[in-house]
Amino acid sequence: MSYQATFARAINDPADFWLEQAHQIPWLTRPTQAFTLDAHGHASWFVDGRLNTAHAALDAQIDAGRGSQTALIYDSPVTQTKASYTYLQLRDEVAQCAGALAALGVAKGDRVIIYMPMIPQAAIAMLACARLGAIHSVVFGGFAPNELAVRIDDAAPKAIMTASCGIEIQKVIPYKPLVDKAIELAQHKPEHCIVFQRPQVTADLLPGRDHDWKTLTTSAKPHEPVPVAATDPLYILYTSGTTGKPKGVVRDNGGHAVALRYSMTYVYGAKAGDVFWAASDVGWVVGHSYIVYGPLLAGCTTVLYEGKPVRTPDAGAFWRVCDEHKVNILFTAPTAFRAVRKEDPEADALRRYNPTSLKRIYLAGERLDPSTYEWLTEHTGLPALDHWWQTETGWAICCNPVGLGMEIPKPGSATFPSPGFNVQVVDPQGQPVPCGDQGQVVIKLPLPPGCLTGVWGDEDRFVKTYLSPYPGYYTSGDGGFIDEDGYVFIMGRTDDVINVAGHRLSTGEMEEVVASHPAVAECCVVGVHDELKGQIPLGLVLIKDGATINGDELEEELVEMVREQIGAVACFRRAIVVDRLPKTRSGKILRKIIRQIADGEDYAIPSTIDDPAILEEIGARLQ
């Protein structure tokens, strides 16, 4: 069936379309009903179905004859280690780990926070939680203790799973002191902390609360998969919103498994036995969906890579992994290839390897800018396919429909809406805009399976953020346009969220940290263009009258504060002192104009501006 016909069917009869797709996964009780709708038109999927996601990803694959196939390849240039697990081995490790958690009292519905580096135990921990019906919440290792504490308080986990350290190129980062600090800061105190000791660092264990991973799992009794309702939560993944408090995006079991299984065929053209490498981190949604769950649900081999695109040891790192592990499909963020291009503009390193197994390269996390697109396609001769998605949706909202035999990229566009996503562009009043005009990108409800079911513990925030702004639609928070051929172009966030090296961060959160400095009277943080990372944060601060600190000292202290309280991953490195901030007459800071000035873009002076002369002053400071 053509893309157009498939898309039309998914929109016109979603129940029929998705019930058919649901046959692709091994249910314990097959659903008879596709979805129910709430008062806003938001869907709950496969309400009477029962399954276990870890069973579908592992046991059912073994039953289908894939027991001796490699399920997971671990490649770690930072430790010079490689390992692989067959489906049988991975299932057994997961069952043991689930048994260990169960022995500590972790059961269906309990939350478990996973704060881990990119080692196989991170995936094992996630799958072990899924096996028990416990809800995991993975926190990216680059976040500071304060961020971890906020998530501990929100998710109220029974246990935390961690490792003794992470390794960033050559820097060994002890994780356990960060976890200890986070638990100290949090109001909620998890009962257990399970620590995987790595050879580089031995973490101190607190008797009674802390457990050695290996001792605990070796002596545990393997646990069988626990059947859960399709609508039961599989995980919570915190993501940045416009305020300082991250949002706990909740994902269900059934809709998630069906959507990911579908996407493996349709979006990625992957089949069982293919080697699929998402060069991301398990702390992000890409890692959840396409390092762990998606490839395993489709019977593929997944690659878990503990390294960077460059400096581990050089710009040939990605090509080496593709060659050595015979990767068929590679997925990463454009920033990774910008880093490679910067160090190896002519792609000389590519010629040292022979990654002929590679069929396509997928990019997401930020827009695939046309120049990176050109560089990639020119040097690899492979399709470089941009696709747009969000933590909230869990899989691609827009993509190239390769599963329907088409590869039709247009540079700068994420191509067409995936079946199930009725993407539209509207003006602030919610009216559709003409073709080619920019507006807010929204998705007509119901969303297809796999998308968020809510915000953990905060139904009001879920409704207010996503469903109320444009009734009947999901608000994506992204701006963009659809051209006359139906190609969707996503041009950037319309809120205070920024994308730094493919990492989603909140400028509002950084502002809260900056504003808490005793010498800061007022501040704002905006995301400005960066050649390598796409965007980086820039702070503008007003010093309080009477404060004696100079601009350089203040910048140094603010940089340290953001690093301490949010994490190194925020890349907050510049804070410039200004005399005034541009505001509207009603006192709203004109963040967009500040960004445009910093990026050297043309801007229109709004009629509501309090004092237009400030713009020139800011321009001079930012030079």
| Contacts to ligand COA by CB under 6 A | 141-142, 166, 168, 173, 280-281, 284, 286, 308-310, 332-333, 335-336, 339, 364-365, 501-503, 568-569, 571
Q: How far apart are CA 245 and CA 247, in angstroms?
A: 7
| Cis bond upstream, residue 434 (ω within 30) | no
Provide, rounded to whole angstroms, the least separation between the CB of residue 361 and ligand COA: 12
What is each CA distance from 101 to 188, 445, 597, in whole angstroms?
A: 19, 38, 53
116 makes contact with ligand AMP (CB under 6 A): no
493 binds, among ligand AMP, ligand COA, none (CB under 5 to 8 A by kind): ligand AMP
Q: Are 457 and 250 in contact (CB under 8 A)?
A: no
Closest CB to ligand AMP among residues 239, 424 = 239
Print the binding letters for residues 325-364 with ligand AMP: x by CB under 6 A, - otherwise: ---------------------------------------x
Residue 20, classed as helix, strand or coil, is helix
What is each CA distance from 25 to 11, 194, 253, 285, 301, in whole angstroms?
A: 21, 32, 11, 21, 17
Closest CB to ligand COA among residues 329, 339 = 339
SS3 percent helix, strand, coil of the chain, rounded to 5, is 35, 25, 40
Closest CB to ligand COA among residues 145, 166 = 166
The most distant pair of C-alpha atoms in the chain lies apart, rounded to whole Å, by 74
Phi, psi of 164 (to 5 degrees): -70, -25
**Phi-psi category of residue 234: left, alpha or beta, with phi > 0 → left and psi -120 to 50 → alpha:** alpha
Count of CA atoms in the C-beta half-sphere (13 A) of 459: 4
Closest CB to ligand AMP among residues 137, 239 = 239
386 makes contact with ligand AMP (CB under 6 A): yes
* From 42, 504, 591, 595, residue interacting with ligand AMP (rule: CB under 6 A): 504
Provide, rounded to whole angstroms, the least separation between the CB of residue 478 and ligand AMP: 5
365 makes contact with ligand AMP (CB under 6 A): yes
Q: Are 575 and 555 in contact (CB under 8 A)?
A: yes
414 makes contact with ligand AMP (CB under 6 A): yes
117 makes contact with ligand AMP (CB under 6 A): no
533 makes contact with ligand AMP (CB under 6 A): no
499 makes contact with ligand AMP (CB under 6 A): yes
| Cis bond upstream, residue 313 (ω within 30) | yes
Closest CB to ligand AMP among residues 239, 565 = 239
Closest CB to ligand AMP among residues 225, 394 = 394
Helix axes 613-622, 591-598, angle to 10 degrees: 40
Please report the beta strands in 144-289, taking only residues with DSSP state E, as ranges in sequence order: 159-163, 165-168, 171-174, 192-196, 210-212, 228-229, 233-239, 247-252, 275-278
Q: How far apart are CA 440 and CA 432, in angstroms?
A: 9
* From 121, 390, 453, 565, residue interacting with ligand AMP (rule: CB under 6 A): 390
414 binds, among ligand AMP, ligand COA, none (CB under 5 to 8 A by kind): ligand AMP
Print the binding letters for residues 269-308 with ligand AMP: x by CB under 6 A, - otherwise: ---------------xx-----------------------
Q: How far apart are CA 229 and CA 115, in angstroms?
A: 26
- Site for ligand AMP, residues 434 to 493, rule: CB under 6 A: 477-478, 490, 493
Closest CB to ligand AMP among residues 422, 499 = 499
Provide, rounded to whole angstroms, the least separation between the CB of residue 566 and ligand COA: 10
520 binds, among ligand AMP, ligand COA, none (CB under 5 to 8 A by kind): none
Closest CB to ligand AMP among residues 444, 580 = 444
Q: How far apart are CA 447 and CA 450, in angstroms?
A: 9
Provide, rounded to whole angstroms, the least separation between the CB of residue 390 and ligand COA: 11
Number of residues that bind ligand AMP (CB under 6 A): 20
Q: Which residues bind ligand AMP (CB under 6 A)?
A: 239, 284-285, 364-367, 386-391, 414, 477-478, 490, 493, 499, 504
